[in-house]
Amino acid sequence: MGVLDRLSAFGGLNRDARILVSTRALRSFSAAILTVSFSIYLSKLGASAVTLGLVFTGISLFSAVRSFIEGVIADRYGRKPILLYSAGLMIVGGAVYSITQDLAILLVTAVLVGVGGRLPYTPAEQAILTEKVSSEDRTRAFSINSFLGTLAGVFGSFAAGLPEFLQSWGVPELLSYRPVFAIFAVAGAVTFAFFTLIEETVPRGGYRYEVEVDDGMGVDERRLLLKWSAVIALDMIGGSFLGNFVSYWFYLKFGVGPGTIGTFFGASRFLSAFSYFLGLRIAERVGTIRAIVISRIPVVFVNSLTPLLPGYTVTALVRGLMSLFSMIDVPLRQSYLMGVVGSRRRASAAGVVTVVSRFTAAGAPLLTGYSFQYVSISLPFFVAAFFQFLSLSLMYLLFKDIRPPGE
C-alpha cells in the first residue's frame, strides 16, 4: 500500500474515526517537539540526570494508574468523557509550562499531567477506534492512525529547533522554550474541540461489566491478558531505559543541541512512518505476532550496538535506519489486543496492559538517570536490548498460535 493508497484509506473511514486519527496526528506533532526539548529544558533549569529519572518514573507510575482507571470508567460509562478529560490535561500541562519557570511546579506538573511523557493516547481511544471500523479493517485503521501520527511527528521534531531559532533573534535562552509548551497546550485545545463531535459508543447507562472467560475463540481472556501484559511489560522496561534520555544522550555524548537532535528525530520519524506499510504487509502474510517479532529484532541489535559506534553522524545514520522497524509493532500490538478481547472490555484491557507495563517499568528511568550521572551513559542501551530480546522471544512462544478475528 503506497502513500496515496494510505491517504485514500483514511478518506474511507467514517467521520469519528477520521477525527480520532486527525487529532492523534496533531498531538503527535506537539509531543514530538517535547521529546527533544523537555529533558534539555529541565536540565537548564537545574534538574540533574537523577532528578530527570525520578520525573520520568513518576510520570510512568501516575499515568499507569490513570490509564487503568480511565479504561474501567470508559467501559462502564462511556469513551467520550475520557477523551475530553485527556485533552483537558494537555491544555493544563502546556499552559503551566508556558507561564512559569519554577522547577518544583514544573516537576510536579510533569508527573500529574504527563507533560514530557509518552504521547497521550488513552485506552478509550483504542476502544472507540476499534468500534468505529469492521474487524477486517481494524489493523488497517490502526496502521493509518500510526502512519499519520508519525508523519506529523516528523514535522514536530524538525520544529524542535524553534528555541534555537528564537535565540538567534535575541530571545533569552530559557524563555525561548516556552512557545514549545504553548504549542502543546493549543494542540490539546483543538483536540478537545474535535472530541466534542464524536458520537459515544457505550449505551446510555453503560455496560454491566462482566468477565467473560471464553469469548468464542477458545481463549481464557484473563489468562491471555495476564501473559500479554507481562510480555509488553518486558518490552516497556527496555524502552523505558532509553525513552526521552536518547536526546539527552546525544546532547551529552556529542554536544549537539536541540536543533540538530530535532533534525535527526524528524528524519527517523519520517522513515518510521513508512515502516507501517511494511508492517501491514508482513502481518497480512505471516500473521500479526510474527510480524511484531520480526520488526523487533533489528531494534534489539541496534540498541546493543549504539554505544559502540564512533561519532554523531554514524550513530545517527544507524539509529535512523533502525527507525524503519522500530515502530512497526505499535499499531499491530494495539490491533491484536483489541481483536482478541470482547468489546465490553477493550478499554479496560488496554488499561490493564498499560498499568502493568508502566508499573513494572517505572524504575527504569531512575536507574538510567543514576547510570548517566554516576556509572555510564552507555549501560542503559545494553540493558534495554536485553529486555527487548526477552520480550520478543516470549511473545513468539506464547502467542504465535493465537489469531484474532479478521486475520
* Distance, CA of 63 to CA of 72 (rounded, Å): 14
- Can you give the residue ranges of every domain in the chain? 13-197+219-399
Burial classification of residue 128, based on how many CB atoms lie within 10 Å of its CB (0-12 exposed, 13-18 middle, 19 or more buried): buried
Alpha helices in 100-122 (DSSP H): 103-113
Length of the chain: 407
**Region 64-84 average pLDDT:** 85
In DSSP terms, 22 is beta-bridged to none
Q: What percent of the chain has pLDDT over 70?
A: 90
pLDDT tens by residue, 90-142: 999 999 999 999 999 999 999 888 887 666 567 788 888 888 887 777 878 88
Confidence of residue 182 (pLDDT cuts 50, 70, 90): very high
pLDDT, tens digit, 9 for 90 and up, residues 296-320:
999 999 999 999 888 888 988 888 8
- Rounded to whole angstroms, the Cα distance separating 255 from 227 reads 42
What is 13-197+219-399's CATH topology?
A: Growth Hormone; Chain: A; (1.20.1250)
More confident position, 348 or 250 = 250
Question: How big is the CA angle at 157 (ends 129 and 375), to the nearest 5 degrees?
Answer: 105
Query: How far out from the chain centre does Cα 173 lie?
Result: 29
Region 248-273 average pLDDT: 80
Asked whether the predicted pLDDT for residue 190 surpasses 80, the reply is yes
**pLDDT recorded at residue 10:** 61
Q: Which residues pair with 214 in a beta bridge?
A: 220
The pTM of the whole model exceeds 0.85: no
Query: What mean pLDDT is predicted for residues 193-213?
Result: 67
Contact between 339 and 406 under an 8 Å Cβ cutoff? The reply is yes
Amino acid found at 355: V
| Residue 108 burial (C-beta neighbours within 10 Å; 0-12, 13-18, 19+) | middle
Q: Judge whether 31 and 85 are in contact, CB under 8 Å.
A: no
Residue 60 confidence (pLDDT) above 60: yes
CA–chain centroid gap for 352, Å, is: 16
Single-letter amino acid, residue 380: P
Percentage of the chain exceeding pLDDT 90: 24
